[in-house]
Amino acid sequence: MVTSERVQRILSDVRALSDDEKAELETELLAEDAAVGRAWGDEIDRRAARVLASDERGLSGDEMRSLFAMDPAEARRRLTERLAARK
């Protein structure tokens, strides 16, 4: 795998850290991942509340799996078509 110079510098810096510093870095990275996870969870809650508050039917599990399995551009196109058909 080819990595950029910037990634190589970061890896070099990480390798130079003490065990305590590596543990601190790991804690910081995990906290950042948790914050991102909470933000996504909040967004999912907002979207679910919108769907539940409306008469419109959301996507079924099968429809969601189908969208996740396809190319993102194609998934966006199909979602756009579906939203346009609702108007």
- Tens of pLDDT, residues 32-71: 988 888 888 888 888 888 877 876 667 788 888 888 898 8
Residue 57 to residue 55: CA distance in whole angstroms: 6
| pLDDT score at 87 | 59
Residue 45 to residue 39: CA distance in whole angstroms: 10
| pLDDT score at 11 | 94
Q: Quote the tokens at residue 80.
A: 């756009």
Residue 8 to residue 11: CA distance in whole angstroms: 5
Q: What type of residue is 60?
A: S
The reported pTM is: 0.45
